[in-house]
Amino acid sequence: MISAEIIAIGSELLLGGRTDTNSVFLSEMLANLGIEVGFKTVVGDNVSHICQALVVASRRVDIVVVSGGLGPTIDDLTRDSVARVTGRPLRRRDRVVKAIKERFDRQRREITTNQLRQAQLPMGADCLTNSVGTAPGFSMKWGKCRLICLPGVSHEARQMFTETVQPLLSREGYVRPPLRMRTIHTFGLLEGHVDEAIADLVPKSGRFRLGLLASPMGVSVSLTEIHPEHEKNKENRLFFDNNKVELEVLVKSISTRLYPHVYGYDHEKMEEVVGNRLRDSGLSISVAESCTGGLIGHRITQVAGSSGYFERGVVCYSNHAKTSLLGVSPAILRRYGAVSAQVARRMAEGVREGSGTALGLSVTGIAGPLGGTAAKPVGLVYVGLSTPNKTFIREFRFHGDRGIVKLRSSQGALDVVRRHVCGLPMGDA
């Protein structure tokens, strides 16, 4: 198994304001090359710390991928750190200087002297061309490991990885068959329930690693293939073919156990699954949103082609809006309160009647942190779905802060639509 470590460099990544997202796509790209990421490290803009991280990484993996700190400014320290730790001094590369000057000429910008720092690369390192930015990356063999340094700007790192790093790793014999991974997405189950329901299906010492990931969107189950040590021989090719079949069998049996909570697989999102079903069945939908403030409409319209089934979204936050836009009677609002099954019903029916769509979806709830009572706590959410024959109502009790309750509500509402269009039982909250 070829192993890798990703080192994300940047003090901003340690201060809480910015997340290291580069390592997410780098992990995925490496997994596609059959390379397993064993470690991720985040380190600030500090030469001594960067050197320490590089030394530790070089001793425990085959490939070290660094992102960030290649720019021209004083806090871009990756080149200096690599030079120091590997003992290979920085040398100016004329070809890089030329490329930087040409780039500035094309953009009719004055070049500053610090820009030329980017042309200083450790002796013996291969330059990795940056086709979408100024700072080149570089790669070098260092002891037993291969060190690859990419820019921090995400689209530059991504581009450089596909254009130059991937071919390089392939040339150098690091690439293996991709690590197969399947993910099963569920909504409406707790992590503990999922675990209990499927634990006996995936043996701990088997060929797949089981992972459970809980998020506001639900609980996802991942199955990742574990590579044997010597992947190249014939016996192991057979191993891979068998794995493929076994993995699909496992996905099927897990899905059966978790039915009807499974809404999608791998990169599929709930709004895509729902959108595809609506499009295929020729059903149109309109949405009336209170506590989600337009989030459901946003998610539905994130899917290309949603104009084929999405008619309108009404954000009716106040009681006045619920009455004037959807015809919810003030008496019902007074009697049951805005967060009630009765109001969810009238909102769903009102938006459906007003827009002439096949389906009308509504959400009303208490996102918090204020507004909860003993009878109606924060996280209480009603979803209504009005259809030509019947109006369905579901009550949810979500946990989490305001943002999470909103996300969960949007997911719960879309799940109600999914269950209806797929002919599944509505289920308990």
**Of 5, 76, 311, 415, which lies in the binding site for ligand ATP, with binding defined by CB under 6 A?**
76
Query: How many alpha carbons lie under 13 Å from residue 33 in its C-beta half-sphere?
Result: 24
**Of 57, 70, 77, 145, which lies in the binding site for ligand ATP, with binding defined by CB under 6 A?**
70
Residue 162 vs 170, nearer CB to ligand ATP: 162
Residue 34 vs 69, nearer CB to ligand ATP: 69
Q: Is 136 in the site for Mg ion (CB under 5 A)?
A: no
9 neighbors 68 (Cβ within 8 angstroms): yes
For the chain, give the longest Cα–Cα distance: 80
**Of 68, 275, 379, 412, which lies in the binding site for ligand ATP, with binding defined by CB under 6 A?**
68
Select from 40-48, 68-76, 223-231, 402-410 the region that touches Mg ion (CB under 5 A).
68-76
Min separation Cβ 87 and ligand ATP, Å: 23
Cα–chain-centroid distance for residue 234?
36
Residue 79 vs 146, nearer CB to Mg ion: 79
Long-range contacts, 49-58 (Cβ 8 Å, 24+): 50/7, 50/9, 50/77, 50/78, 50/81, 50/85, 51/81, 51/84, 51/85, 53/7, 54/7, 54/81, 54/82, 54/85, 54/147, 55/85, 57/5, 57/7, 57/145, 58/142, 58/143, 58/144, 58/145, 58/147
Residue 167 CB partners (closer than 8 Å, separation 6+): none
Q: Is 151 in the site for Mg ion (CB under 5 A)?
A: no
Residue 69 vs 384, nearer CB to ligand ATP: 69
- Indicate which of Mg ion, ligand ATP, none lies near residue 162 (CB less than 5 to 8 Å, by partner kind): none
- Indicate which of ligand ATP, Mg ion, none lies near residue 195 (CB less than 5 to 8 Å, by partner kind): none
Residue 9 vs 61, nearer CB to ligand ATP: 9
Query: CA-based angle 334:337:338, to the nearest 5?
Result: 115
Select from 63-71, 248-256, 345-353, 391-399 the region that touches Mg ion (CB under 5 A).
63-71
Q: Where are the beta strands (DSSP E) in 226-281?
A: 262-265
**Of 2, 22, 41, 169, which lies in the binding site for ligand ATP, with binding defined by CB under 6 A?**
22
Select from 20-28, 268-276, 317-325, 397-405 the region that touches ligand ATP (CB under 6 A).
20-28
Residue 71 vs 122, nearer CB to Mg ion: 71
Residue 14 vs 341, nearer CB to ligand ATP: 14
What kind and span of H or E run contains 225? strand 218-225
User: Can you tell me the distance from the alpha carbon of 209 to that of 1, in angstroms, rounded to the nearest whole number?
Assistant: 15
Residue 34 vs 71, nearer CB to Mg ion: 71
Query: Other C-beta atoms within 10 Å of 375: how many?
Result: 7
Q: Is 76 in the site for Mg ion (CB under 5 A)?
A: yes
- Indicate which of Mg ion, ligand ATP, none lies near residue 154 (CB less than 5 to 8 Å, by partner kind): ligand ATP
Min separation Cβ 163 and ligand ATP, Å: 16
Query: CA-based angle 235:238:242, to the nearest 5?
Result: 140
218 neighbors 187 (Cβ within 8 angstroms): yes
Residue whose C-alpha is closest to residue 276's, from 289, 263, 287, 288: 263
- Please give the residue whose beta carbon sits closest to ligand ATP in the complex: 71
- Indicate which of Mg ion, ligand ATP, none lies near residue 12 (CB less than 5 to 8 Å, by partner kind): ligand ATP
**Of 34, 71, 275, 297, which lies in the binding site for ligand ATP, with binding defined by CB under 6 A?**
71
Which sign, positive or negative, has the C-alpha torsion 46, 49, 53, 56?
Answer: positive
Chain residues that interact with ligand ATP, rule: CB under 6 A:
8-10, 12-13, 18, 20-23, 67-71, 73, 76, 135, 151-154
Interface positions with Mg ion (CB under 5 A): 71, 76
